[in-house]
Amino acid sequence: MIEDPRKVLKDIWGFDSFRPLQEDIIREVLAGHDVLALMPTGGGKSVCFQVPAICMPGVCIVVSPLIALMKDQVQNLKKRGVNALAIFSGMNPKEIDVAFDNCIHGNVKLLYVSPERLKTEMAQSRIAQMNVNLIAVDEAHCISQWGYDFRPAYLEIASLREMKPEVPVLALTATATPEVVEDIQNRLNFKAPNVLQKSFTRSNLAYVVLEEDDKLSKLENILRKVGGSAVVYARTRRLTVEVAKYLKVKGIVADHYHAGLSAEVRSQKQDAWLKGATRVIVATNAFGMGIDKPDVRSVVHLHLPDSLEAYFQEAGRAGRDGRKSYAVLLFNNEDKIALRRNLELNFPPFKEIQKVYSALGSYFQLAVGSGEGVSFDFEIGDFCKNFQLNPLSVHSCLKVLEQEGWIYLSDAFYMPSTFRVLVNREQLYDFQLRNPAVDPFIKTLLRTSSGAFGQFARLNEKHIATYLKTTTGKVQKVLMHLHKLKLIEYRPVKEKPQLTFLQPRVSGENLRIDREKYSFRKDRYEFRIKAAISYVEKKICRSAGLLRYFGEKSGPCGVCDVCLENAKRGYSAEDYRRYSAKILGLLAKEPLTEKELVESFASNRKENVLRTLEYLLDECKVSKQEGKIIASSEKQV
């Protein structure tokens, strides 16, 4: 029996109604159809699979690439009384085993899995036994080599489909160009094409692009003019620190944020910003995923991002509350040079990739032929220091190795300490009797963490230390000691990224890299940086330019820097509508040359006619052929 989605939305989330597209998506899913949902970030994507998962009997498998986000969602669902679980690399086999069992026999409604987990034999055999009601694919653009964030592990989702052919797929993304939209549906073996798209127009958001040599004082200027909460994106970790410092000196409450900080510090900084205690957060692109702050008034980029997909996502964090907000991009010629340099850096020579791969094998002491499916804590800084490698180049090589399916790198995520007792109660008691010095410690340990015989239980070193009036360091030492004695298995807290070998180690010279795919991805990268450069260089409406990139047609927004400049020169959005209607009317009768078109208007209108023509060409509403301009047929559009 299927429950009423509205009732579920009200009972579990307390929301009175669905947002417009949510209801359509859910209806399609409940009818058993595959759907690709395109919704800007903050549009409310998660409800689209969480509600059907609860309405239908069975469990929904959610494939998601970011462990931190997965854990957030699971926690939120649990708070609302919905049984949800996550499985990702870094968990030990026993934990994974228990989690899978719960999905088969328990009443788990949502199982979050990171894509590289799907490949494992355990996942395949256990999922086969589950009553799956929906396969939800979050960040679905990751399945496409055409997109800006291809992750080959996503291709494994197709095997889920083969295993559960009757189960519908709901793919969700906030960024997809038309090629990616098509590719996602193909790769996920959609039974029929089915795209539901929310317009990406953000009418309360003014996009502004400024060519600027002195970016810092311009930034200060902007933050003084536009009050309220802000995010400033900088290219490097070092810059985030420097820029935040600069702003603080100028009396603006700012802080920096990047992935190199510990999880605890990051969450403190994030909380202070969410609460409004920190007004401006200066961050690398590690900031923002999963953050839902409605009243951000400005997002400023101090560099040109290497894709409009990334830019649109980051800029879109401004003005979620619908109030007037700004997305400002400051660039100069150096940015363009840096982007072109990135192209070479991101696609290193094969020899370099082989070298890094071999170094990884030595670093983790993996013999040739071993290592498949094994995960390690991985700190890139330490690795580079060990082998005297350049971090930037290593980063690119790892990315290529990942895209070629050799390794999988997960984001840093927090895993609390756990332990389990390896002996039975009598043996432990006997040990306590013989070692009275550790007796109080063991008692406290067992009292503060229940159920540790056989199973892993969480433990908090700080709590134990407070209880025993000692230090956390000493508690850790005793735990290590008990671990060495094989009385307990102790897994200290983890917050490092994980590197997983997806295939057995091979020798460097046997490392296969598909050259054709490699150069295809390089071409796509070049296409994206060209689009980003064209975004800042072209004097057409910023919003229309961005939307066009994502395959959506729209006239000028009237509020971006180009539109405002045009308005100053006597060309408004209304003018655009009037001129374009007349031009399209003329072209519908016959193709005309640019000169003939201009001459159809009064002579003082020339500039406006040409400007309108530029928009129409950009929107593909007209095209140029053999010197004449022709109106595109609806089909072509």
With contacts defined by CB under 6 A, name the span among 12-20, 439-447, 553-561, 579-587 that binds ligand ADP.
12-20
Instruction: Round to whole Å and give the CA distance between 415 and 419.
Output: 12
CB of 439 to ligand ADP, least distance (A): 49
DSSP string, 338-366: HHHHHHHHHS--HHHHHHHHHHHHHHTTP
Residue 528 sits in the site that holds ligand ADP (CB under 6 A):
no
Q: Which is nearer to ligand ADP, 142 or 560 (CB)?
A: 142
Q: In the complex with ligand ADP, which residue's Cβ is closer, 46 or 417?
A: 46
Q: Does 71 bind ligand ADP (CB under 6 A)?
A: no
Residue count, binding to ligand ADP (CB under 6 A): 13
Binding part of the chain for ligand ADP, among 37-45, 117-125, 159-167, 583-591 by CB under 6 A, reads 37-45
CA geometry: angle 68, 72, 78, nearest 5 deg? 145
Residue closest to ligand ADP when measured from CB atoms: 44
Which residues are registered as beta bridge partners of 209?
329
In whole angstroms, the minimum distance from the beta carbon of 80 to ligand ADP comes to 11
Please report how close the Cβ of residue 86 comes to ligand ADP at its closest, in angstroms: 16
List the one residue out of 276, 228, 286, 226 whose CA is nearest residue 256.
286
> Counting contacts by CB under 6 A, is residue 69 touching ligand ADP?
no
**Choice from 27, 42, 253, 422 touching ligand ADP (CB under 6 A):** 42
CB of 316 within 8 A of CB of 308? Answer: no
> Is residue 47 involved in binding ligand ADP (CB under 6 A)?
yes
Quick check: 167 binds ligand ADP (CB under 6 A)?
Answer: no
Q: Which stretch binds ligand ADP (CB under 6 A): 39-47, 109-117, 250-258, 374-382?
A: 39-47
SS3 372: coil
Pull the structure tokens for residue 436: 């009275």
Residue appearing with tokens 């990171």: 114
Distances (CA, A) of 213 to 198, 218, 330, 340: 37, 9, 9, 19
CA dihedral over 374, 377, 379, 384, signed as positive or negative: negative
State which of positions 289-348 bind ligand ADP (CB under 6 A): 292
Q: Which is nearer to ligand ADP, 44 or 508 (CB)?
A: 44
Distance of CA 45 to the CA centre of its chain: 13
197 binds ligand ADP (CB under 6 A): no
Per rule CB under 6 A, is residue 39 in the interface with ligand ADP?
A: yes
Nearer to ligand ADP, 223 or 299 (CB): 299
What 3-state DSSP class applies to 263? helix
Determine the straight-line distance between the first and last CA of the chain, rounded to whole angstroms.
43
Nearer to ligand ADP, 195 or 438 (CB): 195
The answer for residues whose C-beta is within 8 angstroms of residue 184's C-beta and 6 or more apart is 36, 140, 141, 143, 144, 171, 173, 176
* Residues 632 and 616: beta-carbon distance below 8 Å: no
Compare residues 48 and 613 and give the one whose CB is closer to ligand ADP: 48
Can residue 200 be called a binding residue for ligand ADP (CB under 6 A)? no
15 is a site residue for ligand ADP (CB under 6 A): yes
Q: Looking at beta carbons only, is 247 or 299 nearer to ligand ADP? A: 299
Binding mask 483-512 for ligand ADP (x = CB under 6 A): ------------------------------
Binding to ligand ADP (CB under 6 A): which residues in 385-404? none
| Smallest separation, CB 292 to ligand ADP (Å) | 5
Closest contact distance (angstroms) between CB of 411 and ligand ADP is 17
The phi-psi region of residue 494 (left if phi > 0; otherwise alpha if psi is between -120 and 50; otherwise beta) is: beta
Nearer to ligand ADP, 73 or 580 (CB): 73
Do β-strands 488-491 and 418-421 pair in parallel, antiparallel, or remain unpaired? antiparallel
| Structural contact between residues 533 and 336, judged by C-beta atoms closer than 8 angstroms | yes
Residue of 6, 12, 19, 343 that binds ligand ADP (CB under 6 A): 19
Q: In angstroms, what is the minimal distance from the CB of 60 to ligand ADP?
A: 15
**Binder to ligand ADP among 37, 45, 133, 528 (CB under 6 A)?**
45
Q: How many CB atoms lie within 10 A of CB 359?
A: 19
Supply the DSSP symbol for 157. H
Q: Measure CA 377 to chain center.
A: 21
The residues binding ligand ADP (CB under 6 A) are: 15, 18-19, 22, 39, 41-47, 292
